[in-house]
Amino acid sequence: MSSPPAIRAGRLQDRLAAFAAIGATAKNGVNRQALTAGDRQARRLLAELGSARGFAVSQDAAANLFLRREGRDPSLPPLLLGSHLDTQPTGGRFDGALGVLAALEVLEALADAGVETPRAVEVVAWTNEEGSRFSPGCFGSRAFAAGRIDPAWENALSLDGERLGDELAATLAALTEAAMRPLGGTIAGYLELHIEQGPVLEREEIAVGAVTGIQGTRWLEIAIAGAAAHAGTTPSSFRRDPMVAAAASLHDLYGNVMPRDENARLTVGRLRAEPGSINAVPERVIFSVDIRHPDPARLDAIEAHVRRTCAHAAAAAGCRSEASILFDMPPLTFPDAMVALVEDAATRQGFSVRRMVSGAFHDALFVARVAPAAMIFVPCRDGISHNEAEDVEPRHAAAGAATLLECALAAA
């Protein structure tokens, strides 16, 4: 009888290094944006690694790439494990790649041990998760969940003037040895390992995060209109200064939203004053407010609080405030059984684990629309991501992969 399946940490590190070399930057990062030559090269390498182990290679119309290890009953829906291979323009070596290569490691560990799973297990590399070359992101997982490609997305243009539809066709054509499969289809479940992209696990020295859901995100734009006036000649009582209202609004929001709700996030990353003269009271101040919360009712309540606060502060300064919604993505909660699957798997493997909400989007957000899904987080150094300095300790990469394997054994 064969020994129980186990991931091989050294092999995983070798694979991470091999993929990091494709699109490597001078600063030890990776520039391998979606549907570029580098992305095609990474897909080819993944396909070759899969073929070499006898896994069936296929791709769908969205260029999602699959490696399948057949199960005892090929008619059962497969268990899907994966993430993405594309990166930000100045991306790191782990965001996405870790999830795909840990999934491959799981398949190889099963094959090494000769384990026969009841259902097939598939590795997936979703197309264009980052959305930095072609908007929107999570293109592949959205298309998979919808069973179709939104025609509008095919006409998305990159900054270098390429059309997504054209680059997609070229990417598919570059991997002719992969069988074409229908877009979408029934799956038993989806598991995605990903770096946390935040500081919590590292600071709490916890090896594994069992992700309970992905918080909702809403972007507001607040425009406060006052009256331009000469900085030297206009006394305080004659001013209608929108910067006074903006400062009062933000000071109030920073003091009340996050401090009173540990699950709330409120960020003002963009602010401008018009016309922007040093020696003039501005006419308008416009700023963004990014609010996030796992609970949709709280998201609504925070939005209402932001609108009310800005309106009151504007009125007090003799100004008018208008709010508009730029973006709205509702929260997602993973099924509790799937979260417990991750938690139990980590615990059985002897890793410290905590439940946590994902602050960022992931392909799992969309796959969860069509199947039970879960995510496993591992710590990344200083919480840094979308950055060439992104780094993950080998022991944490291995712990994540081992947890993923344990989950796959339980779910497949």
Binding residues for its own copies (CB under 8 A):
196-200, 203, 215, 217, 219, 229-236, 238, 241, 243-244, 246-248, 250-251, 254, 258-259, 262, 265, 267-273, 276-282, 285, 288, 290, 292, 326-327, 358-361, 383, 385-386
> What phi, psi does 292 have (nearest 5°)?
-140, 145
**Distance (Å, whole) CA 55 – CA 131:** 29
Tokens of 151: 């025609």
Closest separation in Å from C-beta 337 to its own copies: 25
Closest separation in Å from C-beta 39 to its own copies: 23
Give how far the C-alpha of residue 265 lies from the chain's centroid of Cα atoms, to the nearest Å: 17
Separation in Å, CA 95 to CA 171, 207, 219, 318 = 21, 17, 24, 47
Preceding amide of 275 cis, omega within 30: yes
**Distance (Å, whole) CA 86 – CA 91:** 9
Helix, strand, coil percent values for the chain (each to nearest 5): 35, 25, 40
| Choice between 288 and 349, CB closer to its own copies | 288
Closest separation in Å from C-beta 262 to its own copies: 7
- Tokens 């993923």 correspond to what residue? 404
Closest separation in Å from C-beta 15 to its own copies: 25
Closest separation in Å from C-beta 341 to its own copies: 23
Tokens of 309: 């606060």
Closest separation in Å from C-beta 410 to its own copies: 28
- Tokens 């259902």 correspond to what residue? 119
| Residue (of 334, 83, 261, 400) closest to 253 by Cα position | 261
| Choice between 144 and 287, CB closer to its own copies | 287
Closest separation in Å from C-beta 355 to its own copies: 15
Closest separation in Å from C-beta 249 to its own copies: 8
| Choice between 190 and 219, CB closer to its own copies | 219
Buried b / exposed e over 348-371, threshold 16 CB at 10 Å, is eeebebeebbbebbbbbbbbbebb
| Choice between 141 and 249, CB closer to its own copies | 249
| Choice between 50 and 294, CB closer to its own copies | 294
| Choice between 59 and 217, CB closer to its own copies | 217
**Distance (Å, whole) CA 158 – CA 167:** 10
Separation in Å, CA 38 to CA 130, 167, 171 = 15, 12, 10
DSSP string, 112-141: HHTPPPSS-EEEEEES--S-SSSSSS-HHH
Closest separation in Å from C-beta 362 to its own copies: 11
| Choice between 210 and 405, CB closer to its own copies | 210
| Choice between 135 and 349, CB closer to its own copies | 135
| Choice between 78 and 209, CB closer to its own copies | 209
Separation in Å, CA 323 to CA 125, 204, 258, 309, 315 = 39, 38, 20, 11, 14
| Choice between 37 and 159, CB closer to its own copies | 159
Closest separation in Å from C-beta 376 to its own copies: 15
Which runs of consecutive H residues, i.e. helices, occur in 182-289? Answer: 200-204, 242-256
